[in-house]
Structure 1
Amino acid sequence: MDLPRLETTPIPGLVVLRLDLREDSRGWFKENWQREKMVALGLPDFGPVQNNISFNAARGATRGIHTEPWDKFVSVANGRAFCAWVDMREGDTFGAVFTIELTPDIAVFVPRGVGNSYQTLEDGVAYTYLVNEHWRPATPYPALNLADETVAIPWPIPLDQAEISEKDLNNPRLADVTPMKPKKTLIIGALGQLGRALQAEYPGSDLIDLVSGDGVATLDLTDTEAVAAWPWHEYALVLNAAAYTAVDAAETADGRRTAWAANATAPATLARLAREHGFTLVHYSSEYVFDGTAPDHTEDEPLSPLGVYAQTKAAGDIAVGLAPRHYVLRTSWVIGEGKNFVRTMQALAEKGVSPSVVSDQVGRLTFTGELARATRHLVDSGAAWGTYNISNGGPAMSWAEIAKAVFERCGRSADDVTLTTTEEYAAGKDLAPRPLQSAMSLEKIRATGFEPEDAMLALDRYLKSPVVE
């Protein structure tokens, strides 16, 4: 079969496909939907889950204008139909119109929020359409009167001679239609350090956490009934900033169970939901998935977690990788609002304390604002799905070197920070193993056009900002 041809229209996202119709004396054959070929042409990989056929007995059957909240892929199995679409989405193209006569060699992809209608031009026309969400009864959506004067659709058969349902006859005019809003963004773990930075990057998002707060709802992703009741179909983007990060406590019996639930089971649940509802899933991981023996970790390095926390994060990475539209952002040494290493060193410097800090663990700081900025870049640029390393830029540094940098910026001498080793620091303590080399290669995300900010520049700005507990 030859490749179909794709044509754009005045309505953004609405595209026409000219299909290869193979005919002989017996009739014809066509590939009405062929995912590999059509996605390669540029059609969204919209993941159809339901196929509907509307049989229209008589010429002049007219339906619409309906704006169901899902994508459609429409065609006719036989005959001819005049089709019209109206953009009903918020934005500059609200009210834009496109029309075409559908025959079996033509199909049209209709994005969510574009009103759909047709009028049969022959008897016995079968109109067929794929949709990427299961039909739900009583789903509200905008509709438009077929005779609206503003869009002025040129129906081949006058509407007073067409067969139209009573419901469609009473649909509102464009001036009375509330435009369809885009699908929403959901931030999970909204009250954590990263969650707060994501709120600043994605204002107006829905927010959930294990505890409620100002504008934050409660949802436990391990609660099967609560998860089933949540309206996942309303989201285009889900940002999973929730995690159990108590590395040492994860080695205990209770901590182990909690870590596996938060870092592995919950991401697996989100990956399943992403497959079912078609949203993009962004999940945040850690360089702890590696054993720290490589000097510069790349995204395709085999997983080699050392402790329980690390093992749960690695399991979460694998689970999220099964979502069709996903980004796993592996990061290191996260610094944001609340308690963290930098704030601890700042407080010690201001109190006149001279700490001993490990000098054989090497990596880069990642400020939450930079992590949120990278998220926005990957999502908005349409970067290839997959795993990306992200931290701030600049040379890799040890924890001791970072502590010295903080002390100097607080007016103390770098010499007030003394050096120790991981082994010496852990003596007599019940600590989880830690990777000694945490620096990650940033070449993959740089190749998408994102340039990480130098960590020391970000540190200067961070130390001048108010302390948030």
Structure 2
Amino acid sequence: MAEFGKALGSTETPIPGLTMWDLPVHGDSRGWFKENWHRRKMGDAGLPDFGPVQNNVSFNDAVGTTRGIHAEPWDKFVSVATGRIFGAWVDLREGPTFGAVFTTELDPSRAIFVPRGVGNAYQTLEPDTAYVYLVNDHWSPNASYTFLNLADETAAIAWPIPLDSAEVSEKDLAHPRLADVTPMGPRKTLVLGANGQLGRALRSEFGGDRHVEYATRADLDVSAGDLATARPWRDYGVIINAAAYTAVDLAETADGRREAWAANTTGVAALARIATENGITLVHVSSDYVFDGSSDRPYVEDDPVSPLGVYGQTKAAADAVVQSVSRHYVVRTSWVIGEGKNFVGTMAGLAERGVNPKVVDDQRGRLTFTAELARGIRHLLDADAPYGTYNLTGSGAAMTWAEIAQKVFGLTGHDADRVTGIGTDEYFASATGPVSPRPRMSVLDIAKIESTGFSPEDAATALERYVEGASWRKAE
């Protein structure tokens, strides 16, 4: 008999992510009514927006009908339509809670959210029992399940009706014991642009994690028309988009404009669609170029964008698209330095060769080293930080490009006065090719990401280590 009058609410269990739900049931002598699923109300109450795509019903005419223990590669929300069941859940995911057990009874006024990889089993306690479950992937015979024997001695589930008196299929009786179960791994992470400066830093950050895959443009081109079928996307939980068209000056040409929009916006829109349809967290790296540089203070995440050039326009458009994805991180950064050709390596090389450069002194910002950018991205994911846009640069005082060049000269044992500051307009006055306008103010406020527990390294300290470690010799 369903309990009437409960308030909607959840209760945590010993298994992470497995939550019990009380459902309001309204009834009288004629019967009862309940809202079995209400996306907004349950989301407001804390249920993950798991995006159900299929609704299934299991009808059982006899008491003692027992099914399980099955761990599916999708999330499910299980509730009772009529009757009463005993439920048992065993964590079959990789991790410290592997083998954890939770049991309880469910009736029409109680439901449970079962995350991917948690084994579930149900035994009917009344005749003509039906339970309903919403799942966030379409059933497929090719899906990879993990199973546990109903009589496993380690789980030691106290079935109300002993298994030798219950209705159980031969298949369920043949499942392995816990010691022989291969735990279900997490959904995979895909890093795009894996051969770029940031891509290489992400390879280093995630190391040998076997659940992380890397794709170069040759492996997967985000601007290609077959992106939707390029991977079995339900196997992935995170996409980190480190691929981009970054030739800011060439983007001002006809060919460059087309390439920039294809890679930076059209391709990202395709990724956003895939992420939305498959419940994937999309991490997208953005730029200070989405701003015009006219601010008299560091830019915060919700400042209006106003890009000056084509590159900035494509990045701003991509930001807007990614922000429509439920699970997203837009990571805005500036003045990126990593493995490969970059400003620091160029200045160090000039210093070594005796060249006295003229360097722009009216643009201000902070350097961001790719190792720090990769570390911050991993932090957002590992910390389950609230989805949204985050500025991520080095910390400390802002500098001009000329001041950075002078520091590089000094750190390499050369006279910093050999660097002459010059205005942006004067610097580009003699340019023979296209020039993209640059924001003069590129300092990004990093308080938001600091509030999540991440402390970006001081940019000047990172610069000193980079130069003294001779990394610039590889980058030059």
> Which residue is equivalent to 1:167?
171
What is the CA distance between 1:304 and its match in structure 2? 0.8
- Of 87, 90, 105, the residue aligned with 1:101 is 105
Q: Give the C-alpha shift of residue 89 in structure 1.
A: 1.1
Residue 111 of structure 2 corresponds to residue 126 of structure 1:
no
CA contact (8 A) 1:289 1:305 kept: yes
Give the count of matched residue pairs.
Answer: 463
Correspondent of 2:343 among 341, 346, 370:
341
TM-score of the pair, normalised by structure 2: 0.94
Match of 1:322 among 317, 321, 324: 324
Q: Residue 382 of structure 2 aligns to which amino acid in structure 1? A: D
Q: Deviations over 1:410-430 (max 9, x none)?
A: 111111001211111111322
Deviation at 1:457, TM superposition (A): 0.4
* Partner AA of 2:287 in structure 1: S
Q: How far apart, in 1, do the equivalents of 2:452 and 2:142 lie? A: 42
CA drift of 1:37 comes to 3.2
Offset at residue 352 of structure 1 (A)? 1.1
**What residue in structure 2 maps to residue 90 of structure 1?**
94
Secondary structure, in 3 states, of the residue corresponding to 1:74? strand
- Give TM-score, length-normalised by structure 1: 0.95
Structure 1 Cα separation of the partners of residues 452 and 63 of structure 2:
52
CA contact (8 A) 1:221 1:227 kept: no
Post-superposition offset of 1:226 = 4.7
Deviation at 1:249, TM superposition (A): 0.8
Which amino acid letter does the alignment assign opposite residue 285 of structure 1? S
Matched, 1:225 2:226: yes
Alpha-carbon contact 1:189-1:243 (below 8 Å) kept? yes
1:154 aligned counterpart, secondary structure: coil
1:210 alignment counterpart: 217
In structure 1, how many angstroms separate the alpha carbons of the residues matched to 2:7 and 2:346?
Answer: 61
Deviations 1:66-121 (A, max 9, x none): 11111111111110111111111122222221111110011011111111111112
In the alignment, what sits opposite 1:214?
none
- Aligned amino acid, residue 190 of structure 2: L
2:439 to 427, 435, 438: 435
Displacement of 1:263 in angstroms is 0.5
Corresponding residue number in structure 1 for 2:239: 238
Answer yes or no: is 1:417 the counterpart of 2:423: no
The 8 Å contact of residues 193 and 338 in structure 1, kept in 2 or not, is answered as yes
Aligned to 2:451: 447
Superposition map of 1:40-59 within 5 A: 40-59=44-63
TM-superposed deviation, 1:272: 1.0
Aligned to 1:35: 39
Deviation, structure 1 residue 224 = 2.8
RMSD, aligned α-carbons:
1.6
Counterpart of 2:266? 265
Give the 3 Å change call, closer, same or farther, for CA 297–107 of structure 1 in structure 2: same
Matched, 1:464 2:468: yes
Does the CA-based 8 Å contact 2:193-2:216 persist in structure 1?
Answer: yes
Question: Residue 132 of structure 1: CA displacement?
Answer: 1.5
Deviations 1:359-411 (A, max 9, x none): 11111111111111221222222222111111111121111111111111111
Q: Quickly say closer, same or farther: Cα 1:91–1:449, change in 2 above 3 A.
A: closer
Secondary structure of the residue aligned to 1:393 is coil
CA distance in 2, matches of 1:12, 1:300: 33
The whole-number CA distance in structure 2 between the counterparts of 1:186 and 1:174 is: 30
Change over 3 Å in CA distance of 1:73–1:320 after alignment to 2: same
Shift of 1:22: 1.5
Structure 2 matches for 1:58-207, cutoff 5 A? 58-203=62-207, 204=209, 205-207=212-214
SS of residue matched to 1:224: coil
Which runs of no fewer than 5 residues in structure 1 stay unpaired? Answer: 212-217
Alpha-carbon separation, structure 2, partners of 1:26 and 1:201: 61
**Is the CA contact 1:285–1:329 (under 8 Å) kept in the aligned structure 2?**
yes
Shift of 1:42: 3.0
- 2:255 corresponds to 1:254: yes
Structure 2 equivalent of residue 11 of structure 1: 15
- Indicate the SS of the match to 1:136: coil
Q: 2:282 aligned with 1:281, yes or no? A: yes
Amino acid at match of 1:90: E
Deviation readout 1:9-68 (Å, 9 max, x if unpaired): 222221111222222122112222223333333332222222111111222221111111
State the distance in 1 between where 2:154 and 2:448 align. 49
- Give the distance between the partners of 2:299 and 2:224, measured in 1 at CA: 35
Distance across 2 between alignment mates of 1:61 and 1:337: 61
Equivalent position SS for 1:260: helix
Paired AA for residue 93 in structure 2: R
Q: CA deviation at 1:2?
A: 6.2
Measured in 2, the distance between the counterparts of 1:453 and 1:96 equals 39
Tell me how far apart the structure 1 counterparts of residues 342 and 324 of structure 2 sit (CA, whole Å): 32
Is contact 1:345–1:406 with CA below 8 Å preserved after alignment? yes
Instruction: Kindly state the Cα deviation for residue 357 of structure 1 after the two structures are TM-superposed.
Output: 0.6
Amino acid of the residue matched to residue 261 of structure 2? W
Please state how far the C-alpha of 1:222 moved relative to its aligned partner. 2.1
State the match for 1:399 in structure 2: 401
